[in-house]
Amino acid sequence: MPAFAGLIVDWGGVLTGDIGSAVHRWADRHGIDKAAYAEIIRGWLGPEGELEAMVNPIHALERGEMEVPDFERLLAEELTRRTGESHDSSGLLDRMFAEFEHSHDMNGLVRRARDLGIRTALLSNSWGDYYPRDLWDGMFDVVVISGEVGLRKPDPQIFELTLNQMQLTAGECVFVDDLPHNITAAADLGIVGVRHVAYDATRSELETLFGLNLA
């Protein structure tokens, strides 16, 4: 029997290609000042993505408390304020997410894990609904999207909700994410975390943890 019973994975940066590369392509294609965009996002997120400002547009968007058009308007206004160049807010995120690439190897790994009897869950902080849900048939037992449940990583409650829906304990699950502070939050609850950087390294670590061949 495998040492663990559940696999929880992030979407952006795990089941997709590198987020930074996608954002750079979006910026180059649509004339977005990359330095200005990075400054805006850093200011809104705070250190390690955990600073809760009085009004934090990213946190509000991820919890479903802010609509995508309102977020796009704020982002376009900030870009204009910092660069002096006008930006069309309509479809701003749609154009960004169009640059995200499907990570076939990691998606295949999750499917193989489920075929081998591992319960699988998607746990994602959402910037609207830009997910390729049509590709998820037969892939996940549980799907938890932050904007649909009013919680976001690294809030402990969203991990607990995911575990409850999987009907597993923290000690029975492994969590794969590309952001260290989310891994830390999961580990604080007793979930074993794997930081995803590259497919081969992640697959090797998961094979060791689950005691299964996931190639």
Residue 143 and residue 181 share a domain: yes
Q: How confident is the model at residue 53 (pLDDT cuts 50, 70, 90)?
A: very low
Residue 129 and residue 28 share a domain: no
Cβ atoms of 192 and 206 within 8 Å: the answer is: no
Number of structural domains in the chain: 2
Name the DSSP letter for residue 16: B
Residue 15 has pLDDT above 70, yes or no: yes
Residue 147 and residue 64 share a domain: no
The domain boundary, picked from 35, 65, 97, lies at 97
Check residue 209 and give its pLDDT.
97
Residue 24 and residue 13 share a domain: no
The domain boundary, picked from 97, 119, 141, lies at 97
Kindly state whether residue 215 falls inside one of the protein's structural domains: no
The domain boundary, picked from 44, 72, 97, lies at 97
Task: Write out pLDDT tens, residues 132-164.
Answer: 999 999 999 999 999 999 999 999 999 999 999
The whole domain housing 172 covers 6-17+101-210
Give me the percent of the chain exceeding a pLDDT of 70. 94
